[in-house]
Amino acid sequence: MTNRASTSTSRRTVVKAAAGTAIAGSVMAGTTSAFPALAAEPADVFLHGVASGDPLPEGVLLWTRVTPTPDSVPGSGSGPDTDVDWEVAEDRGFTRVVARGRTTATAAGDHTVKADVRGLRPAGTYYYRFTSGAAVSPVGRTRTAPAADSSAPGLRFGVVSCANWESGYFAAYRHLAARADLDAVVHLGDYIYEYGTGHLPDERYVVRRHEPRHEILTLSDYRLRHATYRTDSDLQAMHAAHPVIAIWDDHEIANNNWSGGAENHTPGAEGDYADRAAAAKQAYFEWMPVRPATEGTVYRRLRFGRLADLHLLDLRSFRSQPASVGSGKVDDPDRTITGRAQLDWLKAGLASSDATWKLVGTSVMISPIAFGSLPAHLLRPLIEVLGLPREGLAVNVDQWDGYTDDRRELLDHLTRRGVENTVFLTGDVHTAWANDVPVKAATYPFSASAATEFVVASVTTENLDDVLHVAPGTVSLVASSAIRLANRHVKWADLDGHGYGVLDVTAERSQMDYYVLSDRTKADATATWIRSYRTRKGTQRVERVNQPVR
């Protein structure tokens, strides 16, 4: 659990927490949300909080984990099967219970449980809790989606990405938890990081230690890393306050991974990649309030009335191995970032949607980015932040830039079929952007834009000022100006803030408000609005707005 008086957490601490030490109480006391979680009785059973996710008009997925005995430590495979009851009510006092049931937490499932509750009313606010014997979980609040054919007046989502435990505290989650106006929080990937301690950031800049200390490889490792994240009070508060809609990126498995391997995986020395990926995905579905889609992936679609369809992508499970920059293979039509089935699914869903807005959750940037003639002292840290090859060439092969045929096919489909109001929601690059998505970047803005893209900054993971270890804004204005000069479809880029976005959707426009933290290394960091951009219905272009939505 997050202990704000300490910068490290040991495995012994996790074991002691499982035995019911006072650290559980410190988590609840540290919650500053406008919707605080309630302390469990006894406090040692529901150590990892509660969560909900994937809201439907008639239902929502509920999640928790129990620690039935002191030896039932996450990843241990120990502990008895335990009955867990759940109930859903229209009021926080649970005087109007509308649904209840029972499930079983087993060691085979790391004592995590899910309840896929149905029969609820659309666009409703509900409260839920779990019980196990005499123990009562914290209370969670959730919302269902609007009815599929309804004309919802508006939607509001928190949007986050890239939360590295060792890089700082999750204050962004605390600020989202404190908001009472969100329908859900969309997490675009890198919910956890797989590295060993002191890898990211460097040892001397580590704010707090994750568990296990080594790079995670096995099912037990991934479970314990997820469990460590779930002890953070701000993360628990966000999950208790809002349903979370999540996809994975690479660090939930291994850095820069593809269908058959990863940059951060050494075959032989670290075992078979397929075994590692299977373990990582199993732990992910155990610990996240996510319904697995076809073939155990995360690509799926959620509807929010006739106002918006949210298409969620899996851009790791099916992608081809990244090409070398400059090889020309980035344009090879046999290479893919989506896989054939997923791309066809996305195209069909976009073309057939009768929703005003087609939101697409993509873990990596779809907008093409070139870097022009940046000076070397700025290009080098950008290479590190954005995952570019150290030769400094212009394309990021880990993004859609490395799989240009898939992007061309998708953008051509949008223009040929007249699909309007497509908005890509993106994470991954630890920086914030507002982009038009041009059909032909070389001739933009004199050619068409097929969509728009809002990219959110990281919650904690390193960006430009962190890599250079300078004050925010010291060099980023020069770098962002050079990027925008070379990429006329990029309207704004903030290269050194950490924080989150709030997407507000109405029939007439989709607007992203960007918020930055005062200091990611401080548990009590404040959040400040810095910019807003919107795309108006029918325009496929972004424009600056002078104030956030109230």
- pLDDT, residue 24, reads 32
Query: Is pLDDT of 432 > 50?
Result: yes
Give the DSSP letter string of 428-478.
Answer: SSSSEEEEEEESSGGGTTSS-EEEEEEEPPPSSS--HHHHHT--TTTTHHH
Give, to the nearest 10 degrees, the angle between helix 404-416 and helix 340-352: 20
Is 3.60.21.70 the CATH number for 11-545? yes
Other Cβ atoms within 10 Å of 153 Cβ, number: 11
Average pLDDT over residues 123-128: 98
Decide: 46 and 21 in contact? Cβ < 8 Å.
no
Band (pLDDT 50/70/90 cuts) for residue 181 is very high
Task: Out of 102-116, 119-133, 160-174, 394-408, pick the least confident.
Answer: 394-408
The proportion of the chain whose per-residue pLDDT surpasses 90, expressed as a percent, equals 79
Question: 511-536: b or e for each residue (b if 16 or more CB lie within 10 Å)?
Answer: bbbbbbbeebbebebebeebbbbbbe
Give per-residue pLDDT as tens, 186-206.
999 999 999 999 999 999 999
Q: What is the pLDDT of residue 294?
A: 67
Compute how many other C-beta atoms are within 10 angstroms of the C-beta atom of residue 253. Answer: 26
pLDDT of residue 303: 98
Q: Where are the domains of the chain?
A: 11-545
In tens, the pLDDT along 133-173 reads 999 999 999 999 999 999 999 999 999 999 999 999 999 99
What pTM, to 2 d.p., does this model score?
A: 0.90
Reference 45, options 120, 136, 123, 107; nearest CA is 136
Confidence bin at 331 (pLDDT 50/70/90): confident
The average pLDDT across 356-363 equals 98
Q: Is the pLDDT of residue 494 over 90?
A: yes
pLDDT at 35 over 60: no
Model pLDDT, residue 442 = 85
More confident residue, 196 or 29: 196
Is the pLDDT score of 84 beyond 90? yes
Strand pairing report for 140-143 and 135-136: unpaired
- Name the helix (H) or strand (E) containing 344: helix 340-352
pLDDT of 465 over the 90 cut: no
- Look at residue 172 and give its three-state secondary structure: helix
DSSP 3-state of 177: helix
Q: pLDDT at residue 1 above 80?
A: no
More confident residue, 6 or 474: 474
**How many residues are there in the chain?**
550
Taking 50 as the threshold, does the pLDDT of residue 423 lie above it? yes
pLDDT tens digits along 292-327: 776 789 999 999 999 999 999 999 999 999 987 666
Q: What is the pLDDT, as a whole number, of residue 75?
A: 98
Give pLDDT, residue 486: 86
- Computed over every residue of the chain, the mean pLDDT equals 89
pLDDT digits (tens, 9 = 90+) for 259-275: 999 999 999 999 999 99
Looking at 313-317, 341-345, 438-442, which range is the least confident one? 438-442
Q: Is 249 helix (H, G, I), strand (E, B) or coil?
A: coil
Q: Does residue 38 carry a pLDDT above 60?
A: no
Kindly tell me if the per-residue pLDDT of 174 is higher than 80. yes
pLDDT band at 482 (very low <50, low <70, confident <90, very high): confident
How many Cα neighbours within 13 Å face the side chain of 113? Answer: 28
Distance CA 66, CA 83 (A): 10
Please report, rounded to a whole number, the percentage of residues in the chain having pLDDT higher than 70: 87
| More confident of the two residues 36 and 195 | 195
206 DSSP assignment:
-
| Cross-strand partners of 32 | none
**Tell me, what's the pLDDT at 18?**
28
pLDDT value of position 216? 98
What are the backbone angles phi and psi of residue 168, rounded to the nearest 5°? Answer: 165, -165
Over residues 386-391, the mean pLDDT reads 46
Cα 381-387-388 angle, rounded to 5 deg: 80
28 has pLDDT over 80: no
Q: What is the dihedral of CA 34, 235, 316, 511, to 10 degrees?
A: 20
Give the C-alpha separation, 502 to 508, whole Å: 17
- Kind plus residue range of the DSSP H or E element containing 160: strand 155-160
Residue type, 427: G
Let me know: does 64 contact 130? Beta carbons within 8 Å.
Answer: yes
Tell me the three state secondary structure of residue 421: coil
Read off the tokens for 267: 């075959």
- Given CA atoms 400, 197, 162, 525 in this order, what sign does their dihedral have? negative
Which range is least confidently modeled, 21-30, 307-316, 519-528?
21-30
Residue 395 clears pLDDT 70, i.e. is over it: no
